[in-house]
Structure 1
Amino acid sequence: MARNIGPKCRQCRREGEKLFLKGDKCFSDKCPIERRNYPPGQHGQRRTRLSDYATQLREKQKIRRIYGLLENQFRNVYKQADRQKGVTGENLLQLLEGRLDNVTYSMGFGSSRAEARQIIRHNCILLNGKKANIPSQLVKPGDQVEVAEHAKNYLRIKSSIEVAKRRTIPAWLEVDFEDLKGLYKNNPDRSDLSSTINESLVVELYSK
């Protein structure tokens, strides 16, 4: 299975903002973007003016990296969003937010989306009481996500929970940190999601 194994922090520096790909490190002083807030490479500190196409491409790459998808995976999600009724950009973000790996991360059961994918693959997550080991599986409103009984004492999950208790849980989720379970109450509205994401640029890019 193809996967991105390159340095995570270089991806954040390339996009010029924190993408929160490294868990606890992103919230500490060790985060490289705090010290070197410019693109990696020998030409990273040069000031360049981006074309419209380059601006659209960078936004697409940023969103793709935030959610940890490869190019073909991201394009397939976009096609699915385009087929649905409503605004394509908002549909795209809702589909990305509704992935099981993202919901697991947002509920605090993984310190990053990459770690959430790993614990899902290791059969540590249940969806509506049944084993779910496909990270891309879509979670629907009313679905319950929980940590499997055999995984509740795993150190990485315990440490992720402690970090999650100090951050804000999204309004469309409800989490019980005692029983390690959560409820996906509804699909998020656009106003609930990050204002630093401009999904309309992705729609413009793929509409060419």
Structure 2
Amino acid sequence: MGRYTGPVCRLCRREGMKLYLKGERCLGPKCPIVKRQPNRNYPPGQHGQKRTRRPSEYALQLREKQRLKRLYGILERQFRRHFEEAERRPGLTGENLLQILERRLDNVVYRLGFADSRRQARQLVTHGHFLVNGRKTDIPSYLVRPGDIIAVRPQSREREYFKVVQETAQSKPVPAWLTRDLETMSGRVVSLPAADQIDIPAINTQLVVEYYSRR
């Protein structure tokens, strides 16, 4: 299965929550989750309005896994690899999984305010606009480590997009495990992200662990 290329707002409606897939639009009144009346906030498609039975335990686990996967914009095979890596590490698998997802280079670029969404950050990374410790890195799934420095390439700073980012990113908060220097258009990984430093919609990672554990 290839990457989803349809309207991303349908994904938010399907999951019944904001996944912040369209950047600033998700924060305004044009967001479909906000715009639609509460009694019309149903999943997309011809069957979205039909009354459904109480979801099974498996359905709840599946929905939670889909929400987390779509929030970070990752396909199933790669998401499964991240879960298996989290499972091998000591500690709680759910917290390990969130930490791995946060450490992805595309997510770090988004957290630093250099992109309006993770989808846009992934495109910027793929196009080679960023350096990690002075080396060009165009792999969105690259996992950063404490002490790593992520910077916009000198050639890319001359582009109009990054000039605008340099002026507007100040209003975007940066998590405590990162630091940002807009003058040099760079950021530094101070530490591994702790559970209370990861700002995402309420997702029960235990249900995700249970989903993969039953297969």
Query: Is the shorter-chain TM-score for this pair beyond 0.5, marking a shared fold?
Result: yes
User: 2:19, 2:167 → 1: CA distance?
Assistant: 20
Tell me if the contact between 1:67 and 1:102 (Cα under 8 Å) persists in the aligned partners. yes
Q: Which moved more, 1:109-118 or 1:152-161?
A: 152-161
User: 1:128, 1:77 → 2: CA distance?
Assistant: 23
Q: Which moved more, 1:157-166 or 1:77-86?
A: 157-166
1:147 to 2:152 alignment:
yes
User: 2:167, 2:23 → 1: CA distance?
Assistant: 12
Segments of structure 1 that go 5 or more residues without pairing to the other structure are none
Deviations 1:124-167 (A, max 9, x none): 00001110011101000111101011111333334445554223
What TM-score, normalized by structure 2, do the two folds share?
0.90
Residue 211 of structure 2 corresponds to which residue in structure 1? 205
Residue 107 of structure 1 corresponds to which residue in structure 2? 112
User: 1:151, 1:8 → 2: CA distance?
Assistant: 28
What TM-score, normalized by structure 1, do the two folds share?
0.93
Map 1:177-188 to 2 at 5 A. 177-188=182-193
Map 1:76-87 to 2 at 5 A. 76-87=81-92
Residue 47 of structure 2 corresponds to which residue in structure 1? 43
Segments of structure 2 that go 5 or more residues without pairing to the other structure are none
Using the TM superposition, give the Cα deviation of residue 82 of structure 1 relative to its aligned residue in structure 2, in angstroms. 0.6
User: 1:195, 1:4 → 2: CA distance?
Assistant: 21
Tell me if the contact between 2:113 and 2:172 (Cα under 8 Å) persists in the aligned partners. no
The number of aligned residues is 208
Residue 133 of structure 2 corresponds to which residue in structure 1? 128
Residue 70 of structure 2 corresponds to which residue in structure 1? 65
- SS of equivalent residue, structure 1 residue 117: helix
Identity, % of aligned pairs? Answer: 52
Tell me if the contact between 1:110 and 1:157 (Cα under 8 Å) persists in the aligned partners. no
RMSD value over aligned CA atoms?
Answer: 1.7
Using the TM superposition, give the Cα deviation of residue 168 of structure 1 relative to its aligned residue in structure 2, in angstroms. 1.9
